[in-house]
Amino acid sequence: MATLVQAIRMGLHVGEERLGVTDIFGEDVGPPLGGVFTATQGLKTAWNSPLDERGVIGTAMGLALAGQKPVCEIQFSDYIYNTIDLLKLAGSMYWSSNGDWNLPMVCMTPVGAGIRGSIYHSHSFDATATHIPGWKIVMPSNPLDAYGLLLSAIADPNPVFYLAPKALLRVKAGPGELLPGEPADEKALSKMIDAPVGDRTTWKPEWPNLETLFVPIGKAKTVRPGKHVTVVSYGRTLPLSVKAADELMAEGIDAEVIDLRSLHPYDWEAIAESVKRTNRVVFVNEETEITNFGEHLIRRTVDELFYHLHAPPKLVAGAFVPGIGLADNLERASVPQKNDIAEAIRATALHTP
């Protein structure tokens, strides 16, 4: 049972071996550390960059233009905000050259709260990312999707953001969710691919014999079928939404939970089909709540499904404050917790006009 971060690492390895990945780079991505979250340990094309996010993005663009297949990392999405112009440029290169140059690069970055990361290790990036045209965006919430979406991101001929929810990196795959080729024994897996503590100069990973698995970009996944209300989420708040839904069964509320997984393009069909059945919908994410991607989904919902709605569509999102404070109480009050989600689901499910 790989963890989400091990699944990323294995995906990157398969990317190197079978999908032409030439460079996995960023701050502290190469040896000896292999990433501040261990995502890039033991990878043969991983290297450490200067401490310069603009250089990271720019170099990835240059590598992609020269026919390489780079996967670059911004160490925390909190530190991506000095590169938005370059990201916009990357997203517009194919378009502005009228189809002359495409730009096949992947930009990975850990996002979100949940680790008491304080003001600069808790940021979400989905509002900003979804507002940049020309990028595809994926965000897994479990190891299997982490693997399958990464391979799809690497194979894609366009720039793709790969947003990794920080709080879920150590989450393990559920039963029956082994990656294809992954050893069933998690200790054995750890021994093979986790770098040892201490001196690593002679360490080499022993990669399992993995098969490719492509989770298509743009396809959501219904992780919990239900009939009273639709809950659409992704990332850290997805498992919280599932838990909230599970608990609400005791109250007779049966919520359907959809893991969006791809934020652009996103699976409107899956949302619409579900909302047409449940007539109620809650969108959940942890970004600050003004000009939030969930608001786009609400706009589209009222645009296209207005007369299917038996309750106002609801957004559960982060508080609109300048940062996420360090103290427990502050973090909890700033981003959605299980109870906040449960409350919104309950209110929406029980809403009577």
Ligand X SMILES: Cc1ncc(C[n+]2csc(CCOP(=O)(O)OP(=O)(O)O)c2C)c(N)n1
Chain residues binding ligand X by CB under 6 A are 27, 51, 53, 75, 79
Residue (117 or 140) nearer to ligand X, CB = 117
- For position 32 contacting a second copy by CB under 8 A, the verdict is no
Q: How far is CA 303 from the centre of its chain?
A: 27
**Residue 103 binding another protein, by CB under 8 A:** yes
Q: Which two tokens stand for residue 137?
A: 């965006």
Element (H, E) at 282: strand 281-288
Residue 180 touches which member of another protein, ligand X, a second copy, none, C-beta under 5-8 Å by kind: none
Query: Does the CA dihedral 30-31-34-36 come out positive or negative?
Result: negative
Task: Work out how close the CB of 54 gets to a second copy at its nearest, in angstroms, rounded to a whole number.
Answer: 7
CB of 72 vs another protein, minimal distance in Å? 10
Q: Which member of 121, 123, 228, 264 is catalytic? A: 121
SS3 content of the chain, % helix, strand, coil (to 5): 40, 15, 45
Whose tokens are 């297949």? That residue is 69
Verify binding: residue 50, a second copy, rule CB under 8 A. Answer: no
Q: Which of 20, 52, 54, 157 binds a second copy (CB under 8 A)?
A: 54
Token pair 């398969």 is found at 14
Separation between Cα atoms, residue 331 and residue 4, nearest integer Å: 23
From the list a second copy, ligand X, another protein, none, pick the one residue 58 interacts with, judged by a Cβ distance below 5 to 8 Å according to partner type. Answer: another protein
Q: Which residues touch 238 (CB under 8 Å, ≥6 apart)?
A: 141, 223, 257, 259, 284
104 is an interface residue for another protein by CB under 8 A:
yes
* Total of chain residues touching a second copy, rule CB under 8 A: 46
Rounded Cα distance, 171 and 160, in Å: 23
Partner whose binding site includes residue 151, from ligand X, another protein, a second copy, none (CB under 5 to 8 Å by kind): none
Is 228 a known active-site residue?
no
**What is the contact mask toward another protein in residues 153 to 172, using x (rule: CB under 8 A)?**
-xx-xx--------------
Torsion angle of the four alpha carbons 190, 196, 202, 204, in this order, in degrees rounded to the nearest 10: 20
Q: What is the DSSP string of 34-46?
A: --TTSTTTT-TTE
Partner from another protein, a second copy, ligand X, none binding residue 20, C-beta < 5-8 Å depending on class: another protein
Are 84 and 51 within 8 A, CB to CB?
Answer: no
Would you say 140 or 318 has its CB closer to a second copy?
318
Residue 228, interface with another protein (CB under 8 A)? Answer: no
Cβ closer to another protein: 18 or 277?
18
Measured from the CB of residue 159, what is the shortest distance to a second copy in angstroms?
11
Binding positions for another protein, 291-320, rule CB under 8 A: 319
Q: How far is the CB of 87 from another protein (least distance, A)?
A: 11
- Mask for 19-58, x = binds another protein (CB under 8 A): xx-xx---xx-x-xx--x-----------xxxxxxxx-xx
Alpha carbons 192 and 181: distance in angstroms, whole number:
13
Q: Which is nearer to ligand X, 40 or 348 (CB)?
A: 40
Closer to another protein by CB, 67 or 175: give it. 67
Compute the distance between CA of residue 218 and CA of residue 268 in angstroms, rounded to an integer: 9
Decide the pairing of beta strands 221-224 and 255-259. Answer: antiparallel
The whole-angstrom separation of Cα 177 and Cα 250 is 27
CB of 35 to ligand X, least distance (A): 12
CA dist 319 and 325 (Å) reads 11
Which is closer to a second copy, CB of 261 or CB of 264?
A: 264
CB atoms within 10 A of CB 17: 13
Binders of a second copy among residues 258 to 287 (CB under 8 A) are 264
At 258, which helix (H) or strand (E)? strand 255-259
Establish if 310 lies at the interface with a second copy (CB under 8 A): no
Show which residues are catalytic. Answer: 121
